[in-house]
Structure 1
Amino acid sequence: MSTKTPTSLHVVLFPFMAKGHMIPLFQLARILLHRNVAVTLFTTPANHPFVTASLSGTQTTVIPIPFPDNIPGVPSGVESVDKLSSMSLFFPFASSTKSMQPYFEKIVQTLIPAVTFMVTDGFFDWTLESANKFSIPRLVYYGMSNFSITVTAVVAQNANLFNGKSENDKVVVPEFPWMKVTRNELDDVSSGRDVNSQFAEWMHDMILATRKSYGLVTNSFFELEPEYSNYWNMKYGPKSWSIGPFCADQTLTKTESLFSQKSSWMIWLDKKLELGSSVLYVAFGSQAEISLDQIQEIKLALEKSEVNFLWVMRKGVKESTLGFGDGFEERVKEKGIVVREWVNQREILEHEIVKGFLSHCGWNSTLESICAAVPILAWPLSAEQPLNAKFVTEEIKIGLRVETCDGSVKGFVKWEELEKKVKELMEGVIGKEMRKKVKEISDAAVKAVEHGGSSWRSLNELIEELQAKSIVA
């Protein structure tokens, strides 16, 4: 029997190669280091510079392992989802990661001190086999809320829920009768639209690997979604350990920027603060694919609304595809700016002049908005974002929903609707009430990660449990 001291705890983190998956685990690395846990983080060669820059000043060991360079449609050297030319390449990109398994295993078994546990992305189902090979507990990170994983599981378990229903017909969610969902608010596999494809098979393998893993690490806090956290842990599993939100943890520096000098957009926000002009932050994530026609409606809505705005475009999208040659930026230069670089979103949201967020409702963005006490104008585009939007607008009521022309989740949005909702959020009574509500939730988030808070206790319990397990091993 071997014995290990608390300082010998060693975790392996392996995030999926997408900014929205990587950045939260960078934050988790800092939190675990603060708890005297040694951290080794795996990534790929092309992502290595971004990872090391993000974790500079920490004792994190960063190890790059080879990524396949023969994926159909994906140029050699493209090793991150945000650099894919189209999201149609997501599945071949994600499913190809299994080729990294032998490199991963070869290094894991040589690490000193020996690995106590690993936290790997849910998309890396193959890491369960690696973990079992070396008797290492594997915890799964999906970057999703307890609400989303629970509602998705309940719907998937009720296979006949949408029988005879159209894509946009609302049905009551079993176990949560106050909630209604449509097929369009769920992924194709969970809603029963896709059951036989290679993608569906990959999803099923991923879910099965999750169920056989030690637990889930969830970037959330109990007080935010108690019903769904309890339901998941009572009915499904493995146990979800809510230890966030990571962005509220004060062990992190307030705004971890990759830049040594203040950026032009932060200087612009400072000037708006001097003028007392509230700003709407607009961003749809690094993976959003928005049509030219839809971009034109967004531009028109922002211009007509006359609100101040900071709009971050997806980096790498060609100017010619966006229709920005019409003088839009010149016309709105007194009110708004368009940024085409990677930004520290947390830093922007924390700026005191930012009073609203037009968002795709990715879970990271949702949490960062909550932590910064900024209400959301929800415009979900893909993945579990429709469920996050439902949570924001219907469950905790800190946001408004952008309505599409046909009432569907992924339909077209006209400028008149967007202008109306932007004004409601930024200037209306509803927006003012939501700012009060989100401030209350933001305060609760900070308390959750502070000493003695629910997330602080949950992380302590997890570390102690894994420590005890490693001593017995």
Structure 2
Amino acid sequence: MAAHHHEDTTSSIPSPIIMVMVPFTAQSHLNQALQLSFLISSYQIEVHYAASSKHNRQVKHRLTGGEDKSSDLLSKIHFHDLPIPHFLSPLPNPNSTTKFPAHLQPSFDATMHLRHPVGTLLRQLSTTTRRLIVIHDTLMFSVVQDVADIPNAESYSFRCVSAFSTCCMKSLYKGESIPPVEECSLTNEIKRLAADQAEFVKIKQGDILNTCRQMESSYLDLLDKNESNLNNKQWAIAPLINRVRNINSTGGGNECLLWLEKQPPKSVMYVSFGSSTSMTDEQIEAMAFGLKESKQRFLWVLRDADKGDIFTGEVRNLKLPNGFEESVKETGMVVRDWVPQMEILAHRSVGGFMSHCGWNSCLESLSLGVPIAAWPIHSDQPYNALFISEILKVGIEVREWADQSEVVSSFAIKRAVERLMDSEEGERIRKRAEEVGGLLRDAAEEGGVSQMEMDSFIAHITR
């Protein structure tokens, strides 16, 4: 009798599954992978996050608003500081002809050496669990290739970009350019790195996409149809960000939130170009005058692109026109620190977002119902800008992508700010952005489409 009883308890408690996240090293990829890790850990699954010590430190530091402090969310994740070769961390070059952050290439190349440390970690963890689930960035297939030799492991790719931009890029490689966005500014080095992943794609058993079916269903279907791996499954789970509230950051961010408190509802244009954009001195000057002449309120995050190692050495001093900050102090604020973007976009005073249209920023803005003044710089951003302005109609374009080599004039900037913040057209776009925000937030609620896809993924990996 006792033996029978014993058997019962073991069958009802399956040995746990363990999930390992293997992110790519650019900030937006690190951050999306961490948000997904939080979401998976909320299902009581043990989650490991494997990257170099520098990149682990970076993603934690940014999450907590620049304090290297722990948080309840972070304490649930097991971080593994894996060894990578030393890499150079040069300053970005704002005058480069291609706007892709080529100065990060040494850190990208060093990351490709993670195959052996990752393989060792996976083999080690696989002995302690019934099933090992590896989720990795689409640029990290070669690094996780040893999954194929671990009998109880399976891998899933995590796409940090929109389904629309993925479809566009695939058609570009096939030589059909739909839509007519010329070659997005990518370097040969990053194209080569992406191409090196192709031979390992067959190891994955599915894709997790940081997008929402209600927003991109036709493009998700198109990706699914072109999938060579027949039993490949697809889960679209965005927005990640509303499920797990971020830690309110203390530190640099609060002064801008205090400033926003004093502004009227929906009156402020938030201006930020993410972590991989470097503007020339000339462009910074045009931006300053354009914002000032628009007579609209603004909160401008003025930072250079991240370096490969954000904790070392000097940063470029970004100069504003003499007396600029003093002259706009009633209506504008310039911040040079890392800011809590979600809290800013969620603030009632913010009525628009001038953005480089990285997918992370697009999703954050849209899920909070904030319309976008799109100013794409490189990679998938021109496609996202097109998607935002032409397909969803929740934003406007600051300039034509074809003019990307020229400085955007202060007049064009002034006009874009006025169109979005102070016109009937802007009102219509804002209404539409609020509707899309409602859709996205509903998708992430209990019974919503993204929440159901997430539950379905969890059911699949714990089957």
Which of the five TM-score ranges fits, normalised by the shorter chain? 0.7 to 0.9
Q: How big is the shift at 1:320?
A: 7.0
Query: Does structure 2 retain, via aligned residues, the 8 Å contact 1:278–1:353?
Result: yes
CA displacement 1:406-426 (0-9 Å, x = unmatched) = 943453211111111100100
2:238 counterpart (212, 233, 244): 244
Identity of aligned residues (%): 26
Residues 292, 321 of structure 1: 8 Å contact kept: no
Residues 1:423 and 1:387: Cα distance change in structure 2 (over 3 Å): same
TM-score for both structures, normalised by structure 2: 0.85
Query: Where in structure 2 are the equivalents of 1:149-298 lying within 5 Å?
Result: 149-157=166-174, 159=175, 161=176, 173=178, 180-184=179-183, 186=184, 199-236=190-227, 238-249=232-243, 252-253=244-245, 255-259=246-250, 263-273=254-264, 276=265, 278-298=267-287
Contact 2:253 2:338 in 1 (8 A): no
Q: Which amino acid aligns with 2:225?
A: M
Distance in structure 1 (CA, Å) of the matches to 2:193 and 2:286: 37
Q: How far, CA to CA, are the matches of 1:258 and 1:376 in structure 2?
A: 24
Q: Note closer, same or farther for the CA distance 1:67–1:259 as it changes in structure 2 (3 Å cut).
A: farther
Q: 75, 92, 103: which is aligned to 2:117?
A: 103
**Which residue of structure 1 lines up, in the alignment, with residue 7 of structure 2?**
none
Select which of 429, 439, 442 maps to 2:437: 442
Distance verdict in 2 for CA 1:443–1:316, change over 3 Å = closer
The CA deviation string for residues 78-121 of structure 1, in whole angstroms up to 9 with x for no partner, is 9x9xxxxx932333321221222222222222224365211112
CA deviation after TM superposition for structure 1 residue 132, in Å: 1.3
TM score, norm. by length of structure 1: 0.83
- Provide, for residues 185-229 of structure 1, a one-character-per-residue CA deviation record: whole Å limited to 9, x for no partner: x355xxxxx8xx554432212234335422221111100011101
Alpha-carbon distance between aligned partners in 1 of 2:124 and 2:14, rounded to the nearest angstrom: 20
Assess, with a 3 A threshold, how the Cα gap between structure 1 residues 346 and 322 changes in structure 2: closer, same or farther.
Answer: same
Aligned equivalent of 1:167: none
The answer as to 2:354 corresponding to 1:363 is no
Kindly tell me: are residues 115 and 98 of structure 1, through their superposed partners in 2, closer, same or farther at Cα, counting changes over 3 Å? farther
CA distance in 2 between counterparts of 1:104 and 1:4 reads 32
The code of the aligned residue for 2:241 comes to C
What residue is the counterpart of 2:134 in the other structure? 118
In structure 2, distance between residues paired with 1:266 and 1:466: 40
Question: What is the CA–CA distance in structure 1 between the aligned matches of 2:332 and 2:30, rounded to whole Å?
Answer: 30
Q: Which residue of 2 aligns with 1:74?
A: 89
Structure 1 pair 314–323 and aligned structure 2 pair: CA distance change class (3 A)? closer
Aligned counterparts of 2:160 and 2:273: Cα–Cα separation in 1: 16
For residues 147-185 of structure 1, the C-alpha deviation after alignment (integer angstroms, 9 at most, x for no partner) is 11112112322x3x4xxxxxxxxx6x3xxxxxx31324x
Structure 1 residue 319: Cα displacement? 8.6
Matched position secondary structure for 2:363: helix
What's the counterpart of residue 425 of structure 1? 420
Answer whether contact 1:277 1:308 (CA < 8 A) is retained. no
* Unaligned 5+ runs, structure 2: 1-9, 64-69, 93-99, 307-313
8 Å contact 2:71–2:247 — kept in the other structure? Answer: no
CA contact (8 A) 1:232 1:240 kept: no
CA distance 1:277–1:202, change in 2 (3 Å): closer
What's 2:291 paired with? 302
* Corresponding letter in the other structure for 1:216: D
Q: Does 1:17 align with 2:17?
A: no
Whether the 8 Å contact between 2:302 and 2:318 is mirrored in structure 1 is no
Distance (Å, rounded) in 1 between the aligned partners of 2:448 and 2:270:
30
Tell me the amino acid that sits aligned with residue 121 of structure 2.
Answer: I
Q: Is the 8 A contact 2:164 2:216 kept in 1?
A: yes
What CA distance in whole angstroms lies between the structure 1 residues aligned with 2:390 and 2:60? 39
1:338 aligns with 2:327: no
Cα displacement string for residues 221-241 of structure 1 (whole angstroms, at most 9, x for unaligned residues)? 100011101111112365432
- 2-side partners of 1:330 and 1:398: how far apart? 33
Alpha-carbon distance in 2 for matches of 1:262, 1:293:
27
The aligned runs of 1:404-419 (5 Å cut-off) are 404=400, 407-419=402-414
Hey, what's the Cα distance between the residues in 2 that align with 1:12 and 1:315? 32
- Provide the C-alpha distance between the structure 2 equivalents of 1:262 and 1:291, rounded to a whole number of angstroms: 25
Offset at 1:465? Answer: 2.1
Equivalent positions of 1:387-398 (< 5 A) are: 387-398=383-394
Report SS of the residue matched to 1:225. Answer: helix
CA distance in 2, matches of 1:7, 1:453: 30
Q: What root-mean-square deviation, in Å, do the aligned CA atoms of Structure 1 and Structure 2 show?
A: 2.7
Q: How far apart in 2 are the matches of 1:461 and 1:319?
A: 45
- After the TM superposition, which residues 26-41 of structure 1 pair with which residues of structure 2 at under 5 Å, given as runs? 26-41=34-49
In structure 1, how many angstroms separate the alpha carbons of the residues matched to 2:185 and 2:12? 43
2:72 aligned counterpart, secondary structure: coil
| Alignment check: 8 A CA contact 1:282 1:309 kept | yes
Query: Which residue does 2:301 correspond to in 1?
Result: 312
SS in structure 2 of the partner of residue 435 of structure 1 = helix
Q: How many correspondences in the alignment?
A: 425
User: Is the alpha carbon distance of 1:408 and 1:31 closer, same or farther for their aligned partners in structure 2, counting shifts above 3 Å?
Assistant: same
